[in-house]
Amino acid sequence: MSTTVTADTEVDVPVRTAYDQWTQFESFPHFMNGVESVRQLDDTSTHWIVSIAGVTREFDADVSDQVPDDHVAWRSTTAEVHHRGRVDFRPVSADRTRVDLTIEWEPEGFVEKAGAALQLDDAQVKRDLHRFKEFIEERRAETGAWRGEVHGAQETAPGGTGLPGTATTGTAGTVNPPMSEGVVGSDPDLRA
């Protein structure tokens, strides 16, 4: 039986800043408790290591749908872990954004099932989204950006052909011009 958790918050940054920060998956351990690491494998693929209540899991996930300044959706591709989610970004004003997060997964084992039954997962996701709010509001700027689009796991970008690997706006894991060039996680303020 799957568990679905929803959370929302408003952040005091423009929608582009909030969205761009969310595309920097390798920064997730800085505001998501239990996420030990996220490694960007390519524009749409990531490898996760999470540890919750003493249970460590590793899985791969792909971005399944992504539209700049609107939403990012993902799903696990590892058979043993069933996980998917979506985050939506809506401008409240020029400098304020509503962030709506939905995560669905299949709890395994006694600890995860007990956590889901007691709604501990709900509280954790809400705390993580609050930490995202604190993280981006303190910085006032994203640590990087990826402005490509993904529809049904096919990457498209303005000026591109719509085929995977043909994005002209940059690649996930790099900072797009006019920002300085760098790899996700290369920001010295984000190093552990």
What burial class does residue 117 get, using C-beta atoms within 10 Å of its C-beta: 0-12 exposed, 13-18 middle, 19+ buried? exposed
- In CATH, the number for domain 3-179 is 3.30.530.20
The single-letter DSSP state of residue 141 is S
Length of the chain: 192
- Least confident segment among 5-14, 75-84, 148-157: 148-157
pLDDT digits (tens, 9 = 90+) for 87-131: 999 999 999 999 999 988 776 655 455 454 444 567 788 999 999
The crossing angle, in degrees rounded to 10, of helices 120-139 and 109-117 is 80
> Six-digit token pair at 106?
């299949």
pLDDT of residue 109: 57
Q: In the chain, what percentage of residues exceed pLDDT 90?
A: 53
Orientation of helix 120-139 relative to helix 15-22, angle to 10°: 120
For residue 181, how many other CB atoms are within 10 A of its CB? Answer: 11
Which 3 state secondary structure label does DSSP give 165?
A: coil
How far from 124 is each of 30, 58, 167, CA to CA, in Å?
Answer: 14, 19, 35
Highest mean pLDDT among 70-79, 120-129, 161-170: 70-79
Output the DSSP codes for 121-171.
Answer: HHHHHHHHHHHHHHHHHHHSS-S-----EEETTEEE-TTS-SSTT--SS--
What percent of the chain has a predicted confidence (pLDDT) above 70?
A: 71
Provide the whole-model pTM. Answer: 0.76
CA distances (Å), origin 6, targets 40, 84, 190: 25, 12, 27
Average pLDDT over residues 43-50: 93
In eight-state DSSP terms, residue 189 is: G
